[in-house]
Chain A
Amino acid sequence: MADGTEPGPDLSPHVSDEVRRTTCYMCACRCGINVHLRDGRVRYIEGNRDHPVNRGVLCAKGSAGIMQQGSPARLRTPLKRTGPRGSGEFAEIGWDEALELAVSWLGPVRQENPRGLAFFTGRDQSQSLTSWWAQQFGTPNYAAHGGFCSVNMAAAGIYTLGGAFWEFGAPDWERTRLFMIFGVAEDHDSNPIKIGIGQLKSRGGRVIAVNPVRTGYSAVADEWVGITPGTDGLLILALVHELLRTGNVDVSYLARWTNAPWLVDRNPGETFGLFVRDAGGRPMVWDRATGQPQPFDAPGLQPELKGDFPNPAGGRATPVFELMARKYIEPELAPEAVASRCGLTAGRIRRLAAELAEAAFSEPVTIDQPWTDFRGEGHEGFTGRPVSFHAMRGISAHSNGFQTCRALHLLQLLLGAVETPGGFRFKPPYPKPVEAHPRPHRGVAVKGPLNGPHLGFPRAPADLAVDAGGAPTRIDKAFSWENPLSVHGLMHMVISNACAGDPYPVDVLFMYMANMAWNSSMNTAGVMEMLTAKDETGAYRIPKIIYSDAYSSEMVAYADLILPDTTYLERHDCISLLDRPICEPDAAADAIRWPVVEPDRDVRGFQSVLIDLGARLRLPGFVNDDGSARYRDYADYMVNHQRRPGVGPLAGFRGDGTAAGRGAPNPDQLRRYIENGGFWVEPVPEEARFMKPFNAAYQDWAVGMGFYDAPQPFVFQLYVEPVRRFQLAAEGHGDVQPPDHLRERIKAAFDPLPVWWQPFEEAMVDAGEFPLHAITQRPAAMYHSWGTQNAWLRQIHGRNPLYVHGSVMAAHGLKEGDWAWVTSHHGRIKVPVARMDALNPQTVWTWNAIGKREGAWALDPMAPETQKGFLLNHLIHELLPPKGDGLRWSNSDPVTGQAAWYDLRVRIEKAAPGAEISEPRLGRQKSPVGQGPKAVAYGEGW
């Protein structure tokens, strides 16, 4: 003070009355959080130090949870539409009326035509419940949002390795020395990757980022490879070319733990390209010790990897490795041949290959831990390759994404860097081979359940969801010849197909937590029109729309009945091993959410509402024999539902409270979770921590935990036979045949070894007319549209200019702050531009989902998000431009149907001076929750 004395601030103020530990939901990462409560309100949210995912840290989204909990955009009560769709005019109704209305719509559909319900969920973390509900309802039309997210990564991972990145596995952060990250991957596994990169770099490890845009993880990478979008697969195959050409591959690993030695039938005809099998169906290898073909899982094999061998069934056979090597050694994949297309130099590609090889083979990581493999052979330890990879949507959301993801998995295998120390490690219950997953089911029985899970992994054309004439049987046309391996369904096609009545009309569209009328759709304006389209009688083409969301999103305005959800702090949830678990490589884990604060509105957790609806509709499994509701609510279901005897949504504290994985329902289970911090962790035994697919100790542990009911050892699949079966069909073999117009495309796309093709949109548009690639990413501090209404996060990311390379700015006479028109083959938008040179020069980009519709999210209709914010979605169509064959081809991966929104090509031109407002303008919706307060001073009075 002025008199020289210091004030004495209170150094030990009261922090909170109570700390309740639950699971975050500000994004998909599912970190553990400690919610400090004071006077019944949230005082502070911090990361839970004991939690396996975030180990105490917390990202910006998680810390902004306080503002989400107090958001003025929270829906308050069920709503029934009174104005036209899209207007946002609603009447508030009670839950009884809302549920009776829903039942009056859903009941007749179930009785008469179950496929008249299309039930699709967005960022749903309860798919094990929602899918089971849809199955019990009997509709074949169910999926979540994976089809426009990262299904290419997931499908390629399962077919190749038995799992992909993120929820399936993680780099061995403790031991890896070189980490290579491809494409946009900021928003999955958000905190673990930040923790991992921080640790890796702090101990001198190296990070290489392959990404057209140098932000986030790419900004801290030791080396940035500013690749041209859509060419990642080409780069990876050139790296494979170099590694094979120079012999820098892990031959021992490939021979033992992959299908590299499996013999491939070379006899022309219906078995060409399939594996040579013994009488028991086991794939065979050629054993140099005995000079005979032997089943691949026999002990003591010395398998051949190249050569031409007699096929026991007659004719010849060749090991996978030779087929693979011959394919990738071709000069068309040499660095010189691909470099300019990738936006790189040949020397750079060769050096990257050499770096990978050096990291993998110069200093192996060894762990002295004896273990026994599934062949019964003992090993003294684990030998690993300290090089690891990560990728998600950036390489996934292209029309060549499935094969690009396959190529990345193949690269990891050549380096011997999967499930070995220092490499990529699976998280239980993964890896699980295709054989451990269901096939897709489509068998509809009126008034009865579907004949099995909707989503699965096709092994052959007979598994497709097509009728005898080859026509799709699902509303989204998943598992049809247009996209046979659409293992996550095609949520992005539902509205357009339902509007067109193709393959058939639906009566009720029921959606959860997916902003399809805005940022979650391609061709947003078109989708808004489809949601409001009427037939000749003046009735909506999609007759009834039920939607559940916690917030006043754009989609709310387009629904007829709104079932308001709770916030994540007000609800029960389970992060289940049956669903999308939170395990770590060394531990199985699951978690719960529980109401750490009570809702102050007339809202209900969607899952509890779904269970209520299930009982009201008398769905099998949701009612007792006497017709009474089987489950009180979601919490009751979480504890008492059993998917298989002893196996339920939560694996921890079963039976008497000590059982893990399998055990009778424990009425005290949720209390035990809460006492334990909201989660449960069971370590993987030391002996079982690596080489999981082949490790007998792991397989036994996994059976004990209930992941599956018998050991399922397998080897990794460089060459994917199910993919070859579809190619064989396209070549004319087999009973289930593709339509002729898709034959050539399937022949090319269903290569059992990874291949690269030019992205479809790029191949179809004039490169001179549309010279630039346009992509989006989410900021680390924001997740989809939820975050943009958050009072704190919108101060960080309330605006989204289009970032343009300096050379492109100059060529178009653009300067910082100018506005520009961006045009694709489909649409035209007006946007503000900003210069960024840490960018592939042929690429422009922006932050995703910042733009808002006027009236949504309780924001001022004049908020920058509505006036200057924009969506690239308007430029992207679900179909490719016409190519003159009378057909409109889907803008998606031909293998999985993944929406190819990163294939977008555009041109840019300076906008004439005028209103600085983004276009198109799509009208204003009336807010059912009013507008947020002018000022916030959270914490006043504490």
Chain B
Amino acid sequence: MTALPEATHRKLGLVIDLDICVGCHACAVNCKEWNTGGYGAPLADIDAYGAEPEGTWLNRIHTFEVTPDTGPAQIVHFPKSCLHCEDAPCVTVCPTGASYKRAVDGIVLVNEDACMGCGLCAWACPYGARELDPLAGVMKKCTLCIDRIYNENLPEEDRVPACVRACPAGARHFGDIGDPDSEVSQLVSERGGYDLMPEQGTRPVNKYLPPRPRDRHERAPARLAALADPEAKGFLGWLDAALGALGRPG
């Protein structure tokens, strides 16, 4: 068993906007690209050109079809990676202390030198956010790009997770969710950001912003009134008035 810090100084995490995530996988592939050459062992791909290709990813995009009571079926794209939970069961279950949560920023990491690849943490994680690398035999997970966010070899504006840097739609935000004045906390507050599976009691740091309602037409456009009965004015009757109002350009 490994202990969690009693509290963390900051709660760094991601806020993911499901309203504008188009499901393009940009975040997942850029994550893989950065991290396969970054923290710890590479993210291996087994049978890469074969019949059953299967690789290690720290972030995957799931696509769901949702059919509401009224209105047409909808598609929701749901990027999922480690949520850096405050009560992270993957840490407390770890028999070697390899999994740990950093007191300074709350990032949950795996110390690969101490990981024996038993897989208990992946079993304990209710989100399926950890993957055992098939070649290295160590547990891989989102590091929140810990080798980017403090990296003095990168320009300051690039010290964000790779997925945030890449996302074309701007659907991913990074910051201190423990600071109520941070931009990410403001977003969560304004948009009703929510925890994934709160009933699990893991207190995830990452938040999701829900999709805005789709296919709702309660508010009829004001212009509808103008559509009433213009034929009464005859063929293009409105045009004479419009042309008459056309002053000389100026």
Contact = CB atoms under 8 A, between A and B. Distances in A.
A305 B243 contact: yes
Contact of B214 (A223, A355, A862, A940): A223
A197 B20 contact: yes
Interface stretch (A241-249, A420-428, A657-665, A740-748): A241-249
Interface residues of A, number: 120
Contacts of B69: none
Nearest to B60: A796
Interface of A: 1-4, 6-7, 9-15, 38, 43-47, 49, 54, 56-64, 66, 72, 190-191, 194-195, 197-199, 201-202, 214-224, 226, 242, 244-248, 251-252, 255-256, 288, 300, 302, 304-306, 321-322, 325-326, 329, 350-351, 353-355, 357-358, 361-362, 373, 377-380, 780-781, 789, 791-796, 798, 836-839, 858-860, 862-864, 867, 931-940, 942
A354 B224 contact: yes
Nearest to B230: A246
Contacts, number: 322
A791 B49 contact: yes
A795 B43 CA distance: 13
A357 B37 contact: no
Contacts of A837: 65, 67, 72-73
Contact of A933 (B26, B33, B48): B48
Given A58-B30, A780-B25, A12 B151 contact: yes
A194 B169 contact: yes
Contacts of A322: 236
- Size band of the interface chain B makes with A: 35 or more
A44 B153 CA distance: 14
A351 B221 contact: yes
Given A58-B166, A936-B44, A44 B53 contact: no
Contact of B72 (A214, A217, A789): A214
Given A195-B168, A224-B214, A932 B25 contact: no
Contacts of A256: 249
B130 interface: no
Contact of A354 (B24, B50, B73, B227): B227
A838 B103 CA distance: 45
A49 B157 contact: yes
B25 A781 contact: yes
A216 B171 CA distance: 14
B49 A242 contact: no
Interface in B10-42: 17, 19-26, 28-30, 32-34, 36-39, 41-42
Contacts of A864: 51-52
Contacts of B236: 244, 247, 306, 322, 325, 329
Interface stretch (B94-102, B116-124, B199-207): B94-102
21 contacts: A10-B147, A11-B147, A14-B153, A57-B168, A60-B25, A63-B26, A63-B32, A198-B169, A202-B170, A214-B74, A216-B22, A219-B22, A242-B227, A248-B226, A357-B221, A358-B222, A379-B249, A793-B29, A838-B72, A860-B47, A863-B50
Contacts of A49: 157
Contacts of B154: 15
Interface of B: 2-3, 17, 19-26, 28-30, 32-34, 36-39, 41-55, 57, 61, 65, 67, 72-77, 96-97, 100, 102-103, 109, 111, 113-114, 135-136, 146-147, 150-154, 157-158, 162, 165-171, 211-212, 214-215, 217, 220-224, 226-227, 230-231, 235-236, 238-239, 242-243, 246, 248-250
Nearest to B146: A9
B23 A251 contact: no
Contacts of A60: 24-26, 28-30
Contacts of B103: 6
Contacts of B74: 214, 219, 224, 838
A255 B28 CA distance: 51
Contacts of B53: 791, 794-795, 798
B94 to A, nearest CB: 9
Contacts of B33: 44-45, 63-64, 66
A781 B29 contact: yes
A782 to B, nearest CB: 9
A219 B75 contact: yes
A935 B55 CA distance: 9
A678 B99 CA distance: 43
A1 B135 contact: no
A198 B44 CA distance: 32
Given A7-B113, A63-B30, 4 more contacts: A246-B226, A357-B221, A362-B223, A860-B50
Contacts of A1: 2, 97, 100, 111, 114
A839 B74 CA distance: 9
Given A791-B53, A862-B51, A197 B242 contact: no
A815 B19 CA distance: 30
